[in-house]
């Protein structure tokens, strides 16, 4: 008997520990017990451990409006919308709810915090149209004991050691519920500037390699044209050679000589294109490299570097 009673008590305590005040408030609201539901939500907010502060205030606003407490409803709606601007009433809601809701929306801005350290001053700027924030807790990360400051002036400038480590910044409401939490990092020293890199070497208006590359491209085009003329000569030679009609051998000889000339010109053009592209590539690279010099003549190429 005692064992069964103990189990029942444990089960009841477990159910209570996991109860959601919003679920209980919705159940009471559905049975039109607005006053009990509002008392339950207010108690959850006043506990200082509210897990979903925006939704609790939104529910409190609905319940207060249902009880015709328009001023309280508008304030609850303002806090809820400041934390979660997307919260909205269901379509077709009663004017008792919509009036304070839209009044709160018209005067509410999203809650926002900006903070930064300059020297030994930590500046905290809070956008809080619903006046939700009541205190900030500053805790030096890695040390003991938080320090509390009341919000009694703006902007909120706090004296901190210039070499203070990272600071944990926590903002709470009048009941101690968490509203904002972040870490303001310790200012890091700026890295020392290294020696300035010398400006890239250029040769007039164009990079020094550009004329060589352009010349290489023209040589490649010339080589392609010569190769095409060689193919034309080859086709003529094949056609005449396969022709069974008697003809003078000198014609084949002339076509062969012409094709050989075009082939030689094509090879020379392609070799020149490759050489010019190589020189242009070296010049383009050295235009952006430090300590390297390239010198070229029509018959030689020299490279000097510093390591």
| Gap between the Cα atoms of 117 and 182, Å rounded | 14
Q: Which two tokens stand for residue 169?
A: 């910044």
d(CA 105, CA 85): 8
pLDDT, residue 17, reads 41
Q: What is the pLDDT along the chain (307 residues), one digit of tens a residue?
A: 444 443 343 334 334 444 688 888 888 888 888 899 889 999 999 998 888 899 999 999 999 999 999 999 999 999 999 999 999 999 999 999 999 999 999 999 999 988 888 877 888 888 888 888 888 888 777 666 667 666 655 566 777 776 777 888 888 888 989 988 888 777 766 666 666 665 555 444 455 667 767 777 787 777 777 777 777 767 776 776 666 666 566 666 676 777 677 777 777 777 877 777 777 776 666 655 544 444 444 444 454 444 3
In the Cβ-directed half-sphere of 145, how many Cα atoms lie within 13 Å? Answer: 1
Tell me which CATH code domain 112-184 carries: 2.60.40
Alpha helices in the chain (DSSP H): 2-17, 21-30, 34-46, 53-66, 70-83, 95-107, 210-242, 249-286
CATH 1.10.150 fits 15-107, yes or no: no
The domain ranges of the chain are 15-107, 112-184, 210-305
CA 248 to each of CA 141, 160, 236, 259: distance values in angstroms, whole numbers, following the listed order:
102, 107, 14, 18
């Amino acid at each position: 008997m005692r064992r069964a009673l103990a189990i029942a008590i444990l089960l009841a305590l477990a159910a209570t520990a996991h109860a959601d005040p919003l679920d209980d408030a919705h159940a009471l609201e559905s049975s039109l017990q607005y006053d009990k539901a509002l008392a339950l939500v207010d108690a959850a907010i006043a506990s200082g451990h509210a897990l979903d502060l925006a939704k609790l205030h939104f529910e409190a606003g609905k319940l207060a409006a249902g009880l015709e407490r328009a001023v309280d409803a508008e304030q609850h709606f303002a806090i809820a919308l400041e934390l979660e601007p997307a919260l909205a009433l269901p379509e077709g809601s009663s004017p008792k709810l919509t009036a304070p809701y839209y009044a709160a929306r018209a005067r509410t801005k999203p809650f926002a915090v900006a903070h930064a350290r300059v020297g030994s001053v930590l500046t905290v700027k809070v956008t809080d149209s619903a006046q939700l924030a009541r205190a900030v807790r500053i805790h030096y990360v890695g040390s003991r004991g938080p320090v509390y400051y009341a919000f009694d002036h703006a902007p909120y400038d706090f004296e901190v050691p210039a070499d203070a480590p990272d600071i944990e910044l926590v903002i709470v409401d009048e009941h101690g519920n968490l509203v904002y939490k972040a870490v303001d990092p310790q200012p890091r020293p700026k890295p020392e500037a290294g020696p300035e890199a010398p400006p890239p070497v250029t040769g007039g208006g164009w990079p020094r390699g550009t004329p060589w590359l352009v010349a290489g491209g023209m040589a490649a085009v010339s080589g392609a044209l010569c190769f095409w003329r060689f193919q034309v000569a080859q086709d003529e030679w094949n056609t005449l050679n396969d022709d069974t009609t008697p003809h003078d051998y000198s014609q084949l000889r002339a076509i062969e000589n012409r094709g050989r000339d075009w082939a030689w010109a094509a090879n020379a053009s392609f070799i020149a294109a490759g050489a010019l592209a190589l020189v242009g590539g070296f010049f383009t690279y050295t235009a952006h490299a430090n300590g390297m010099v390239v010198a070229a003549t029509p018959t030689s190429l020299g490279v000097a570097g510093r390591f």
